Amino acid sequence: MSILNKSSITGAGLALTILGTGGTAHAIVVYDESVNALVEPFDFTGVAFLETGSSFCSGSLLTGGLHILTAAHCFMNQNGQFDLNVVGQTRAIFNLSNESLFTNQPIFEAIAVSDFFIFPGFDLRFSIEGDLAILKLSKPASSRIDQYDIYRKTDEIAQNFTIVGYGDTGIGSEGFDPELFDGRKRFGQNQFDAFIDVFQGASQLPEEYFPKNTTSQLLFDFDNGNPENDAFGVHFGIHDLGLGNQEVSPGPGDSGGPSFLLDDEGNKLIAGITSFGFSDVWDTDEDRIIDIPLFPDNPITDVVIEGVANASFGEFAGVTRVSTYASFIDDVVAGKVRPTASVPEPSSILGTFILGTWGASTLLRRKNKQ
C-alpha cells in the first residue's frame, strides 16, 4: 500500500527503510491475493496523496481543514535535511472516488501547500525520532473531505488500529511490488505491539537508532498466523498471531499516512504516522552479500530474506506516536509556531475536477515513492 521510493538510514550495516517514495515506509501489503484492501469510494476522504515534485507520500487532514499531518522524512533531501526544492512544488491530492490515477478518471481535489512545519530537531542523518511534519494548505479543503482529530491517550499498546495509505501494494509472502502501484488508497488492520525501547540490549540494533524518548514510536509486526513468523513473539515473548487476512503492513508511499484508533463515539483519531520498517535480518555492505540476524540467538522470522525490509511476513514496522507530539500539533494548528519554510508567493490552486486527459500517468511515473 505504499507509494514511495525506498530510502534508508544506514548505520553499522543496518538499514531502516523509511516508507515514502524516496523515503521510509512502503505501500500497504496485504495477507494474500484474496484480500481486497481498496478503500471504498468517498471513504477515508481526508487521507491525502502528497506530491512534492519529485516523490510521493501520504498524509491526513486535521480538524479545521487547513493542515495535513504527515512524516517529516518525506521532505528531506539525500543529505537528510529539509529539501528546499519541495517549497512551491508540494500539493495534497484527495482522491475521493479512489479510482486509479493512471487509467481511470478519479474525482479529486488538489490543493497547494503554502507552509511546512517540520518537528524541531528532526534530522534524518542521525535518527528518525520526531518523524512528523505539518503542512498548511493554501486554502481550506472542501466540506467533502473528512477531517480528523488526534489520539491523545497513552494506552495505544495492544490496541488494534486501521492503517491507510497510497503506497505500493503486494502480498505478505512476497512483500511489496512497485509494479502494482496505482495511486489508490488501501487500508487494513494491525496491532500496536510495543515501543521501540524493547530492542535496547535485546538486539543488534545500533544505539543511534533509538530515540531519546523511547516511547515516541509505536511498533508492530506482520503476522501470518504461524508462530515461527511472529516477530514480536519469537524475539520478545510478546505473542500474537495476527488478525488473519485483515492484517496488513505499510510499504513505500505509505509514509506519513495515518494509523487510526476509534474513540467511544466511533470517530477516527490519528494515533500514528507511518514512518519505517525493518527486517530481523540485515546486510553488512551495499552489495548485500552477507546477511546477519538482528537477533543472533533466535530463529529468523522474515519469510523473504533480502537484508532490507520489503513488508513481508515476519518483519517489523513503526509509526510516530502522535500522542507524544500533541502539544506541538496543537500549537501549529493554532498558529503559534513559525513555519520551517513558506511559499514566497501565492501558488496556483487546483480545484475539484475530473482527471481525464490531464496526463496523470506521465506525471506519476516520473516521481519517486517514499
Q: What DSSP letter does each residue of 328-351 carry, written as one string?
A: HHHHHHTT-S--SEE-SSPPP---
Please report how many Cα atoms fall inside a 13 Å half-sphere around the Cα of residue 211, on the Cβ side: 22
* Predicted pLDDT at 350: 39
Cα 211 to chain center, whole Å? 18
**Phi-psi domain of 185 (left: phi exceeds 0; alpha: psi -120 through 50; beta: other):** beta
* Predicted pLDDT at 283: 64
List Cα–Cα distances, 353 to 159, 319, 344, in angstroms.
38, 33, 26
Cα 146 to chain center, whole Å? 19
Cα–Cα distance for residue pair 106/112, rounded to 1 Å: 18
* Predicted pLDDT at 365: 37
DSSP track, 14-70: EEEEE-STTBS-EEEEESSTT---BPPTTSSTTEEEEE-SSEEEEEEEBTTSSEEEE
* Predicted pLDDT at 249: 92
* Predicted pLDDT at 154: 97
* Predicted pLDDT at 355: 30
Cα–Cα distance for residue pair 14/333, rounded to 1 Å: 36
Closest CA to 247 of 317, 146, 149: 317
List Cα–Cα distances, 182 to 63, 74, 216, 298, in angstroms.
28, 19, 32, 38
Q: Around Cβ 239, how many Cβ atoms within 10 Å?
A: 11
- Asked if 194 and 203 touch (Cβ cutoff 8 Å), the reply is no
- Asked if 60 and 162 touch (Cβ cutoff 8 Å), the reply is no
Q: Around Cβ 34, how many Cβ atoms within 10 Å?
A: 8
Q: What is the architecture, at CATH level 2, of domain 7-362? A: Beta Barrel (2.40)
Angle at Cα 171 formed by Cα 37 and Cα 216, nearest 5°?
A: 75
- Asked if 368 and 77 touch (Cβ cutoff 8 Å), the reply is no
Cα–Cα distance for residue pair 182/96, rounded to 1 Å: 15
Can you give the residue ranges of every domain in the chain?
A: 7-362
> Maximum CA pair distance of the chain?
57
Q: Hey, is 272 helix, strand or coil?
A: strand
Instruction: Determine phi and psi for 243, rounding to 5 degrees.
Output: -110, 25
> What letter does residue 148 receive in the DSSP assignment?
B
* Predicted pLDDT at 24: 40
Low-confidence ranges of the chain (pLDDT < 70): 1-27, 30-35, 101-103, 283-290, 306-308, 345-370
* Predicted pLDDT at 16: 56
